Structure 1
Amino acid sequence: MDDAYSVQTTAADSSDQDGLETLMALKDRDTFLVADHWGDVKSGADGLFNQDTRMLSHFVLTVGRARPSRLSSGVTEDNVFFTCHSTNRPLPPMGGRSAPAGVLHLERRRFLWDQRLFERVRMVNHGIEDILLPLAFEFGADFADIFQVRGTQRAARGAIHAPAMDGRRVTFGYTGLDDVVRTSCLAFSEPPARLSPNRAEFMFSLPKGKRLDLYIECGLDVCDAPDKDRWRWNSIQARLAMRKRMRRGAGVQAPRNPRVNDWLTQSRTDVALLTTDLPTGPYPYAGVPWFSTPFGRDGIITAWQMLWIDPSLAKGVLTYLASRQATEVNAFMDSAPGKIMHETRGGEMSALGEVPFGLYYGGVDTTCLFIALAGAYAKRTGDMETIRALWPNLIAAAGWMIDYGDSNGDGLIDYARAADTGLSNQGWKDSEDSIFYSDGRFPKGPIALLEVQGYAFAAWRALAEMGEHLGDERAPQWRARADAVRALVEDRFWMEDEGFYAIALDGDGEQCRAIGSNAGHLLFSGLPSHERARRVTRRMLTAEFRSGWGLRTLGKGQTRFNPMSYHNGSVWPHDTAIAAAGMARYGERRAVAMLLGEVFGAAAHFQLRLPELFCGFIRETGEPPIAYPVACLPQAWAAGSVFLMLQSVLGIDISAGENLVEVFTPALPIGLDRLNVTNLEVGGGVIDLNFQRLDGRVVVMSSEKSGVVNLRVAG
C-alpha cells in the first residue's frame, strides 16, 4: 500500500486505543460501513462511506440516555449482516416506576445494499411489567473525504448545509470545493417524539412479553419510508448477491477439520465481500476501510492467488486495468503511455487534485504484473479470445517497460517518483523507510527493486508464450529479453557472501544490501537458478525470517528491523504466501506445509480472518500473535493467501489448453489429513480432486464430473 497511508493511519485512529480490530465492517460495491461492536459510529475512523466520502459520521444508540450493555455482536459467516445483542441498564423512572437492568433485549441488525444502510432495532420486553422505553439516536454527517478522515490536513473545504427535517427523516447536504453537491438521508419507520438536526428521541410503550421493531435507512438520496417489507426485500437481494459471488469457481473443503474448513470459508467470503462487480467484470477491492477501491497491484495479486479455483477474477482485473491504462505522460499522476494504474479514488480531494490518487500510476511493478497475470490466465483457462482483446494493451504495457520503465537503459525496471505528491517508494513495500542500504541509509534513485525484475522476467516470458500462440513474430525477442533480465539479476543482485539477493540497486547501480522477503517474490517468478533458490529458501526458513506465524518482511538483525513497523519486520500473509509459492516452484513442499500451518495458527487468533499485516515478534508458547493496530480487516490479498499456499503445497498446475491438471509431490500440513477440491473447471471439463494422507505420504484421487480432464501425478 501507499506510504502516506501507513504514516497517516495512526493519527487518524488515535481516538481508538484498541485500533481497527475493534471495528466491524460491511461492504457492498462502492459503499462500506465501519462501526464498533455496539454498531455505533463515533466519528473516529468509522462511518458510512460511499465513493471515498463519509456520508454518516456519527450514529449512536442510547437507551435511557445510557449505552446498553452488550451481550454479543458479530458479522454473519457470509459477511452480509452485522448483529449486536444487548440489554438495558436500569431505566429512569417513568410515571413513578423504573425498569431494572436486564429485562429488555435489544437486537441491532443491519446490512448494506444498493448504496444504502438498512438497520432494524428489535426490542423485546422480558420483564414482568410494561415498560416505557426511552430510545434515542445521535447522528451527524460531515462529508469528510477519506484522506481527511485518515489525517490529511486541508486548508479549506466546502459548505455543510443545515440538515432538513421532515417528520421521520433528516437530509444532510454538502457542497464541495469541486462544486459537487453530496447528500445523505437518514429515515426512521416511526416518527420520533422529538427530532432535531442531530438527535431523534423515541418513547415506546412496550408491554411485557411483547416485541417492537424500528426500521432505519441511510442512503445517498431521499429515503422512502423504511418498513418491514423494504427491509425483507433488500436483505434477500443482498444475501443472493453474496451467494452468487461465493459460488464462482471451485470449492475447497477440509472435511475432517472443521477449524480449517471455517478458515477456508471465512477467507472465501472475505474475498467475495471485497469483490465488486464492475461493468468490466468482478474486481477485488483491496481492503476495508482505507483501501475499498480498485488497486492495480492488489487486484492482480489477489486474482493470481485465486486463479486456480476462480479465473473470473483475473479476467475482470485484467479487463478493468486495460480500460484504465495510461496514454500520456503526467508527472502528477506519475503516468506514461502503457503504464497500468496503481490506484483510483472517487472523493473530493482526488477530484480537486489535493491528492494524486483520483487516477494514479505510481507503482513500478503493476505493469509487469499485468502482463504476467495475463500469461498465467491464458495457461489456466485457454481463453485466447480475451487475450486477443487485451493484446494491444499488453503490447502497450511492454512498450512502457522498454521506453519508460528502464530510465537509465541498463535493462532493469526502476522508479523515481515524478512529483513530490506521489509515493517515494513504488514497490509493494511503499513506506518511506522500506528500501535502504545495510547501514540504514536511504539510497538515491532511480531504484531498481529486486522483486520487480522478477516480475519483468515473468512478464517477458508470458508475452513470448502468448505471442507464440497468437503467431506474433516478436515472440523470440521477448524471450530473449527475459533471458537478459535473468542474467542481469543473477550478476548484479546476487551477494555471494550472504547467499542472498540484495533488496535493490541504487541510482549508481550499487547494491542495497539489506536482507528482505523480496527474494521470496523472485523465487515466485522462477528467475533464480536452482542452486541459488535453494540457498535463499534455506535462509528464509531460519529464525531470521520465520516468526512462527509466517515470514517477516525483513530479516531479524537488519539495521532497520522493527517487528512493529509497516514493512521492516512485520508479517504480511500475502508476502509469506508468495514466498511459499516461490519455494514450492523449486520443489520445496514440506516447508511450505509448515508455513501454511503457521499462518493458520495466526488466523486462529484473529477469528480466522487474516489482517493485512501483524507484528513480527517471535511466537511464544501460549501467546497470540501481536496485532498491527491499524491493519485493514478484511483485506483481499490477506484473505487470498490461503488459496495460493494450498495450491503450492498441493503442487497443482493447470493447463486448460491440454485439459490437464498436474500434481507434483503433494503435501499437507500437520493436523490436516484430507482436503477436497470440487467442481474444478479445466478446459471443457469439470473434475473433483481428493487429497488424503496415507502411510506417511499424500495421495490424490480424482473423479471427472463432466467432459475430459487429464490428471498427471508426479512424486
Structure 2
Amino acid sequence: MQDGNALPLSTPRPDPVGVGLPQFYIPATASLQERRPRTLKHGDTFAVFDHNGDILSGAGSPEGLFHRDTRHLSHLDLTLGGVRPMLLSSTLRDDNAVLTCDLTNPDLFQGERMVLERDLIHIRRSKFLWDRCCYERLAIRNFSDQRQRLRLELRFAADFADLFEVRGAVRPQRGALHVAEIGADTVLLAYTGLDGARRATRLRFDPAPASLTADTAVFDLDLPRRRRCSVHVEVTCTEEAPQQPVRKAFMLAIRDARRALRRSSSRAASVATSNEIFNEAVRRSVADLYMLMTDKAGGPYPYAGIPWFSTAFGRDAIITAYLMLWMDPEVARGVLWYLAEHQAMAEDPAADAEPGKILHEVRAGEMAELGEVPFRRYYGSVDSTPLFVMLAGAYLERTGDLATVRALWPNIAAALAWIDHYGDRDGDGFVEYGRKTEEGLANQGWKDSHDSIFHADGGLATGPIALCEVQGYVYAAKRAAAAIAAHLGDLERQGTLEREAETLRERFENAFWCEDLGTYALALDGEKRACRVRSSNAGHALFCGIAAPERAERVARHLMDTPSFSGWGVRTIANTEARYNPMSYHNGSVWPHDNALIALGLSRYGHKDAVTRLFEGLFAASEYMDLRRLPELFCGFPRRRGNGPTAYPVACSPQAWAAATPLALLQASLGLGFDPWQGRVRLDRPYLPGFLDEVCLRQVQLNGASIDLLIRRYGNQVVASVPVRTGDVSVVTIS
C-alpha cells in the first residue's frame, strides 16, 4: 500500500532461518549476553537498549522501542565530537523506573592534534517509559577549566518491523514508509502496513536542534568551564499532537511513572533477610514483576518477558500469579478475570480454539492482524485450561474471596467441560494435544520446542501427545474445582469431581510410572507408548499432588541425583538421555520457574533438604547474573567451583515466571500457606537454607488483617514470631 509520499519497503535482510528449521524459530546469530541489554517496559510498550543507552539494531539484535508488537524506533545513537562516548556505568533503579547511563568523552583529535583530553565531559542519560512514550534527559557537564564547544548528534530511524520480523521472519511484502515530516524541533516518521493501519513515531527535542533532518538531530553545545546544560528527547509511539512542552512532559511523566510503580507494589508483602545479596535479588525480582505488569480492566496482568514475549500469555501469567500468590493475590485475580474474558467460545481451527479453552497468546502486530502468524488470539496450549482452574482454586484458598470465584464459576465450568470433551481426544481419560493446522504450534506444553517430546532412543513422539505434567494439572484442577463447588454449596458436583480426580490418579500411576527409571514418563505418544525419559516434568507431578507418596520419594531422589541436578538447578532432562544438550532450549537447560514448581512439589511431600539444595543452587546462580536477575533459562552444564553458570544466548530477561522464582522458593522452604476461613497463616515444617539466618515477611495480608512474620534459624531449628499484627490473624506452625 502506497500513497504519493510513500517509499516502498524491500525485504530487510536475507532469511536467517533457512529452509527446514522449526517454525517460529528464534535465530541466534549473536548472544544477547554479549551486550547485556537494558530493558524498560510500561503497559504495551517496551524498549531494549545497549549499555550506553543506544539502540543499535541489526541482524539478531532485539534492540529498539516497541509498542504493541511493532518496533517504533530501530536506531538511536549518540555521538560527541563525532565519536561514541565511553561508558562509565549503566544501571537501572532498584524499582526499574529509570535507566541511567553515565558516559564520558574519549580523547578527541583533529588530525593528530588532541583537542580534548578524555574524561572531562560527563553525560548522564536518564531514560524511562510512560504512556506509549520514551523520555530521555541528557545532562552534559564540563569538568574542564576551559570553555568547550562541542557537537552532539543523535541519529535515529524507525523501520516499523513486526516483532516476528525482528525475531527472524522474512515477509515477501511489506507496507510503505512515508516521507518524514520535519519541524523546528519535531520529526514524524510513519508507516502504513499491509493491514491498512498507519503506525507513527514522533520525536521531539528541547532545545530545538541546530539542525534537524529525517534521521539526525544536531546540537552545538557551548559549555563554560564547570557548567552544565541539558537536552530532552521525547519519542512517542503515536502521531497525536503533544499537549505539554518536552521538559514539562518529562517531569510530569517521571513523577507519574514512579508513583504508579510505588502504588502497584505497595499492596504486596515485602521480604527482608539477613543476607543482603539475597535481598538485592528479591528486590530485583519484585521490581521486574511489577514492571512487567500491565493494567487490564480486571486488574494487573504480568506480561511474559522481554524482548520476545512482552504480551499476554495464558500459561506464563497463571504460573507467575501462582508463584507470587502468597505475596500479592491481586495479580491472580487480574489474571483470572482477563483469561475468563478471553476464554474461547467456539471452534476455530486456525487459532486452535475450542469452547472453554483458555488463551495461549495474544499479538497485536501487523503480521498477526494479517494472519501471517496465527497468534492474534491463539489457544494452542494444552495446559493453560487446567492451570486456570488450579489458579482459581488457589486464589480462593489464599483469600477466601468467594464472590470473585462465584462470578468466575461459569468460566471454570466451561474449562472443566473442555478438559473432559475436547481435551480428552480419544476418551482414554488423559488430556492430549495436537494442532488443528500446520501453522499451529507442534508441541503445546510448556516445553514447546519441536524436539522436546521424544522417546528413549531420541525419536520424536507423534501425537496426540499426553504430557506427564498436564495430567497432574488436570488432577489438581479437579481437586480445586471440587473445593470451590463445596464452598458454593454444590456437594453433588464436589463428589463427582473428587471421584474423577481419584480415577485419573489411578490411571496416571498405571500408565506413566516407569519402575526401572524410578520416575514418571515424560509423555504418552499417539499410540499410548510411554516416552521413557527422565525429565523435570515428573517434578510437576509432585507440585500437583498426583504422585503416590512412596513414588514421590523416588522421583525426588531422581530429580536431585547428578544426572538431573546440575548443582544450579534441575535440568529439563537428565544428562543420560538421548537428546541431552545443556545448551538447548528444553533438552538439558535449567529453567528457574520449572525449579520453583518442583520445589513447591518437594515441599508438599516433605522433602525440605531437596528444597534447600534447589534454593541454594538458584540463589548462587543469581549471584553471577547481571543485576542479580534470574533469566528465562540458562545452560545445564555442571556447577564447578569458582565458576558461574553458563548463560543461554537468547534467554529473555526479565522473564515474569523466572522473576517470581525466589518468592516461590522462599514459600517452599517455609511451607507457607493460608487458611482464610480460620484467619490463619500456616508454616508447614519450616526450614531455612544455610545462607539465611533470618527472614522477615512484612505486611502479609489475610482477610483485611496483616502481620509481619519473623523467622529465625537456630542450627536446624526454625522459630517464628509475629512482631507486628494488625487485625484478627494468627500463625500456626506445623512441625
TM-score by length of 2: 0.94
Kindly tell me: are residues 466 and 225 of structure 1, through their superposed partners in 2, closer, same or farther at Cα, counting changes over 3 Å? closer
**C-alpha contact 2:22 2:450 (8 A) present in aligned 1:** no
Alignment of 1:132-151 (within 5 A): 132-151=149-168
Shift of 1:477: 1.1
Kindly tell me: are residues 21 and 102 of structure 1, through their superposed partners in 2, closer, same or farther at Cα, counting changes over 3 Å? closer
Alignment of 1:103-182 (within 5 A): 103-182=120-199
Coordinate RMSD, CA, aligned? 1.6
2:367 corresponds to 1:349 = yes
2:231 corresponds to 1:217 = no
2:211 corresponds to 1:194 = yes
Alignment of 1:195-594 (within 5 A): 195-219=212-236, 220-221=238-239, 222-223=241-242, 226-254=245-273, 256-472=274-490, 473-594=492-613
Q: Which moved more, 1:368-377 or 1:689-698?
A: 689-698
* Letter paired with 2:406: R
Kindly tell me: are residues 225 and 713 of structure 1, through their superposed partners in 2, closer, same or farther at Cα, counting changes over 3 Å? closer
- Counterpart selection for 1:690 from 702, 710, 716: 710
Residue in 2 that maps onto 1:41: 55
Kindly tell me: are residues 700 and 21 of structure 1, through their superposed partners in 2, closer, same or farther at Cα, counting changes over 3 Å? farther
Shift of 1:223: 4.2
User: C-alpha separation between the residues in 1 aligned to 2:118 and 2:107?
Assistant: 4
**C-alpha contact 2:155 2:217 (8 A) present in aligned 1:** yes
* Letter paired with 1:39: G
User: C-alpha separation between the residues in 2 aligned to 1:631 and 1:208?
Assistant: 46
User: C-alpha separation between the residues in 2 aligned to 1:554 and 1:423?
Assistant: 21
Shift of 1:91: 3.5
Aligned-residue identity in percent: 45
**C-alpha contact 2:31 2:650 (8 A) present in aligned 1:** no
Shift of 1:224: 5.5
User: C-alpha separation between the residues in 2 aligned to 1:40 and 1:74?
Assistant: 14
* Letter paired with 1:589: K
Kindly tell me: are residues 17 and 478 of structure 1, through their superposed partners in 2, closer, same or farther at Cα, counting changes over 3 Å? closer
Alignment of 1:77-116 (within 5 A): 77-93=94-110, 98-116=115-133
* Letter paired with 2:533: A
**C-alpha contact 1:88 1:101 (8 A) present in aligned 2:** yes
Kindly tell me: are residues 6 and 102 of structure 1, through their superposed partners in 2, closer, same or farther at Cα, counting changes over 3 Å? farther
User: C-alpha separation between the residues in 1 aligned to 2:303 and 2:704?
Assistant: 30
* Letter paired with 1:682: L
**C-alpha contact 1:368 1:456 (8 A) present in aligned 2:** yes
User: C-alpha separation between the residues in 1 aligned to 2:622 and 2:652?
Assistant: 14
**C-alpha contact 2:671 2:686 (8 A) present in aligned 1:** yes
Shift of 1:360: 0.3
**C-alpha contact 1:70 1:84 (8 A) present in aligned 2:** yes
SS of residue in 2 equivalent to 1:132: strand
Q: Deviations over 1:134-163 (max 9, x none)?
A: 111111001111001100111111111111
SS of residue in 1 equivalent to 2:139: strand
User: C-alpha separation between the residues in 2 aligned to 1:173 and 1:234?
Assistant: 24
Shift of 1:205: 1.0
* Letter paired with 1:284: P
User: C-alpha separation between the residues in 1 aligned to 2:411 and 2:639?
Assistant: 46
Q: Which moved more, 1:100-109 or 1:436-445?
A: 100-109
Gaps of 5+ in 1: none
User: C-alpha separation between the residues in 2 aligned to 1:450 and 1:252?
Assistant: 34
Residue in 1 that maps onto 2:11: none
**C-alpha contact 2:204 2:246 (8 A) present in aligned 1:** no
The runs of at least 4 aligned residues of structure 1 exceeding 6 Å deviation read 4-7
Q: Deviations over 1:61-97 (max 9, x none)?
A: 1111110111111111110111111111233559x99
Residue in 2 that maps onto 1:58: 75
Q: Deviations over 1:466-504 (max 9, x none)?
A: 011112232211111101110111000001111111000
- Counterpart selection for 2:86 from 69, 90, 111: 69
**C-alpha contact 2:556 2:610 (8 A) present in aligned 1:** no
Residue in 2 that maps onto 1:27: 41
**C-alpha contact 2:78 2:84 (8 A) present in aligned 1:** yes
User: C-alpha separation between the residues in 2 aligned to 1:689 and 1:17?
Assistant: 42
SS of residue in 1 equivalent to 2:351: coil
User: C-alpha separation between the residues in 2 aligned to 1:414 and 1:699?
Assistant: 45
Residue in 1 that maps onto 2:616: 597
Gaps of 5+ in 2: 1-19
* Letter paired with 1:237: D
SS of residue in 2 equivalent to 1:658: coil
**C-alpha contact 2:107 2:114 (8 A) present in aligned 1:** no
Alignment of 1:697-712 (within 5 A): 697-703=717-723, 705-712=725-732
**C-alpha contact 1:602 1:624 (8 A) present in aligned 2:** yes
